[in-house]
Amino acid sequence: MIGLAVTRQAIPVRVWCWPGNTADPALIRQVRDDMRDWALGKVIWVADRGFSSAGNRRYLQRGAGGYIIGEKLRSESPHVKAALSRQGRYQQVAGNLQVKEVRISDTDRFVICHNPDAAIRDAAIRDKLVAQLEETIAGSDQLSATKRAELRGKISMMPGLNRFLRLTPGGLLRADKAKIKAEANLDGKYLLRCSDPQLAAEDIATGYKQLLEVERGWRDMKQVLDLRPVYHRLEERIRAHVLLCWLALLLIRTAENATGQTWPAMRRELDRIHLGTFTGPAGTFRHRTELTKPARDLLAKLGIDPPGQIHQLTLGT
């Protein structure tokens, strides 16, 4: 298991490695204790829904720390149910994101975030799943009880379809209209819990979106830098492999921030620089191709001197 600490500018400043069976509370504790050595004035920990247990929240608050944590909308938590049932207007913040703060606890603040574009996407996915479910159970009323039970078992192995399936008292299979309507109320929404009393609702929402930078770091580590598969057996070699990939990611993000371009775009442009070897009666020399203007601009923004035109010259005998 691998952990990253990322700044608001997407710079990966720390990396951790743990055995694959390490529990989440142990990860939280080590990361928090290690970051404490940096002597940061105020730390707000941002975590997804997998770290929302009461024990993890208490630990993150030690030493005057705070947290922004995602909550599971479909949980049976009374706080979640109360937050979703509260009325109120949304406030438009960064981009198309809308936020609404609800007060239901003396210790924590809850912010409901709504993304209209995500709501359209969620509705389309749900309509597709419901249509697939209705097609699957069509004609099931004519089946025997045993065959319907077999079909019910098959659907139970499909979480997307099983969520909207209802079994009538007579044992018939139906699409759950009430569940579908309840799910529609969650389209494009996610719920955040925050312990800091001073952060604005907008800062809570945008702070949580910083997790996207961590996810982008993971994608680049795995797809661009080929973090996996790891062909190592010894622990120290695995850690060294991860560390090298992290250093490469650090260089990529530094270059992206300096140029305002993505690494794939920069790499495509810089890969056009070649070194040709020319041989004749007078000798052999190696000559660089002409730099394009985008390549010169990239090197200038990165503070890198362009490579010389002549790299090697050997006179003939």
Other Cβ atoms less than 10 A from the Cβ of 48: the count is: 14
Residue 2: beta bridge partners? Answer: 17
Residue 66 backbone phi and psi in degrees, to 5: -135, 175
Q: How confident is the model at residue 31 (pLDDT cuts 50, 70, 90)?
A: confident
**DSSP per-residue letters across 239-288:** HHHHHHHHHHHHHHHHHHHHHSS-HHHHHHHHTT--EEEEEETTEEEEEE
Condensed to tens digits (0 to 9), the pLDDT of residues 293-305 reads 999 999 999 999 9
Condensed to tens digits (0 to 9), the pLDDT of residues 80-110 reads 888 888 888 888 887 788 888 888 777 788 8
Measure Cα distances from 273 to 135, 181, 236, 292, 310 in Å: 56, 58, 36, 9, 13
DSSP state of 53: S
Average pLDDT over residues 226-236: 77
Q: How confident is the model at residue 122 (pLDDT cuts 50, 70, 90)?
A: very high
Nearest Cα to 213, choosing from 67, 44, 10, 69? Answer: 10
CA dihedral 249, 252, 256, 257 (to 10 degrees): 60
Supply the pLDDT for residue 106. Answer: 75
Q: How far apart are CA 137 and CA 250, in angstroms?
A: 52
Supply the pLDDT for residue 41. Answer: 64
Q: Is the pLDDT of residue 120 over 90?
A: yes
Q: How far apart are CA 38 and CA 50, in angstroms?
A: 25
Supply the pLDDT for residue 12. Answer: 86
Residue 56 backbone phi and psi in degrees, to 5: -65, -40
Condensed to tens digits (0 to 9), the pLDDT of residues 136-146 reads 999 999 999 89
Q: Is the pLDDT of residue 63 over 70?
A: no
